Copies of this chain bind each other. A is one copy, B any other.
Amino acid sequence: MPLPDPVLYPPFNIIRLSHVEFVVTDLAASRAFYADTLGLLVTHETDERITLRAMEERGHHCIVLQQGGEASANVLGFKVFAEEELDKAKAYFDGKGLPTSWVERPFQGRTLLTADIHGIPLEFYFAMDRLAPVHQQYALYKGVKALRIDHFNMFSVDVDQAVAFYNEIGFRTTEYTEDEDTKRLWAAWMHRKGGVHDIAFTNGRGPRLHHTAFWVANPLNIIDLLDVMSTTGYLDNIERGPGRHGISNAFFLYVRDPDGHRIEIYCSDYQTVDPDLEPIKWDLKDPQRQTLWGAPAPRSWFEEGSVFTGQAVSEPTLEAQPIIAP
């Protein structure tokens, strides 16, 4: 199955990924992790809900933490180009027979809630509250000094289907892994905002959220976080890294929040704004696509992920490969 042609003029204009809402089981523990350890800035909080932003962001939030009884991911949020794009989006999803509704979300203006073909809850907005810039208030920087949310990575039961769906709404594939035997997609990285990805999909039990990534300036920020986490009681929350992915060329670290939601800290991908940028193809049998330098990932990294609230998880249509693990 060849990679579908990218759609030049999508039915509505998505600018970028924007935010994720997590259900967490101990809000104070999550605040300690995201605000005190990672260093994200709290922009609003109640006894039940905390919103945070990263250092260069002017939108009100990139992470929403909602106290709940069981950990899950409620929804993935995206920003569109203008108010009218929301109406175009509604028409589009309605036309596909996918559920749509206008929902109230504090601080983010008119918001369309919908879902993709595999049931991943998505929400779109244009007018999130804008906050004053703080990126030059250097006394506020701490932890890993995350600059902005970068991407979501999902387990998908059918990556070919996922790529076709997101391709049609304007996401372009930058890199992908193909199963040489079946010629089916194993994994794909797709962008709107001009980096390697806003979203990515990997074959696996899904739909589940594998990780949410934040962009930092350089590898030393990541080393600083490792030093702090390993000496302040978060040693077991360090899951994988530091290392470099072959795919995306990212220097990475994966950590787990107190509920197991996986966060990637990430730097050094590349600019992808050219509409004729050729996707880079990787062979599923090439271990360097996963890890350029050769260190294995732990089994948990291949197997665990956050469920989407209320969404059943299914087996993938493409049979799982042996994990390249220790």
* A contact residues vs B (CB 8 Å cutoff): 8, 15-16, 56, 58-59, 79, 81-82, 126-127, 130, 133, 135-139, 141, 147-148, 193-194, 217-220, 223-224, 226-232, 235-236, 238, 242, 244, 246, 249, 251, 267-268, 270-271, 273-278, 280, 288, 292-296, 326
Contacts and interface: CB of A to CB of B under 8 A. Distances in A.
Contact of A135 (B15, B238, B270): B270
Contact of A138 (B148, B232, B238, B273): B232
B295 A56 contact: no
Nearest to A148: B271
Given A133-B280, A244-B226, A138 B296 contact: no
A79 B272 CA distance: 13
Given A15-B274, A271-B56, A277-B58, A223 B232 contact: no
Contacts of A218: 217-218, 220
Given A130-B276, A242-B242, A219 B223 contact: yes
A220 B145 CA distance: 13
**Which 9 A-B residue pairs are closest in the complex by CB-CB distance?**
A326-B326, A138-B227, A218-B218, A56-B270, A138-B228, A194-B194, A226-B293, A230-B293, A230-B292
